[in-house]
Amino acid sequence: MKFRSIAVAAAIWCVGGGVAAACQGTTILFQDSFERLQPTWGQGSDSFKVVESQLEVAPAADSYFWIANSANLYDDIDMCVTMTTLEAADPIEAKAGLIFWYADVNNFYVFEIAPNGMASVWRRQRGKWLAQVDWREAQGANKGDGAINELRVATVGSNATFFVNGNQFEELEGGSPPENGQQIGLFAVSPPSGVARFGFDNLKVTKP
């Protein structure tokens, strides 16, 4: 871990108002500070483990990793997480983010950001990836190794709104949330050139 760069990024993030991006809901439905790996995340592995009070996700090179949390099924939510790029390997091809409207392994949505500050929204439907919001610059995103960004997703009915460090990125209308409630989760991708590592902390799900 490049500790010095991460410490500097943390200082910049705090001064820049990263805390303002926190979930806006008043009722906490689920939260995880990752002091240990909660059993609702399943079993840990070398690529999915708690390190120094952070959930570290490091998929094998040229592969995806996603995990849904089984603690609850939710209707409308306001969800946020603090994400650190520990090591990008490739700032364009590496990416990570929040899963929402998760029904099963082949049907869910993901809001993701790359270390170059670009973000997008994708839907996985029947095992196929469908772009919902094309890649574009996320206002206020911190970039590079050591960068800390707070991602937020708010879902109401079939609409979802996305934020990076308190700045609205986009709103998706007419989505397809699961009929019987959604799970939430985390997502990461490593590029062909090597293993990318991302850290997640302060995950919170609230009622909007």
Q: What is the pLDDT of residues 90-136, one digit of tens each?
A: 999 999 999 999 999 999 999 999 999 999 999 999 999 999 999 99
What is the amino acid identity at position 139?
Q
For the range 138-141, what are the long-range contacts, defined as Cβ-Cβ under 8 Å and sequence gap of 24 or more? 138/113, 138/164, 138/167, 138/169, 139/164, 139/167, 139/169, 140/16, 140/164, 140/165, 140/166, 140/167, 141/113, 141/117, 141/165
3-class DSSP assignment, residue 145:
coil
| Domain CATH for 197 | 2.60.120.560
Domain count, the chain: 1
What mean pLDDT do residues 147-154 have? 98
| H-only helix segments in 21-111 | none
Q: State the residue for tokens 């790029």.
A: 85
**Which structure tokens are listed for 144?**
């590079």
**pTM of the complete model beyond 0.75:** yes
What mean pLDDT do residues 162-168 have? 98
What mean pLDDT do residues 58-83 have? 98
Domain residues for the domain of 38 are 3-207
Q: Dihedral, CA atoms, 197, 154, 129, 199, nearest 10 degrees?
A: 0
Say whether pLDDT at 21 is over 60: no
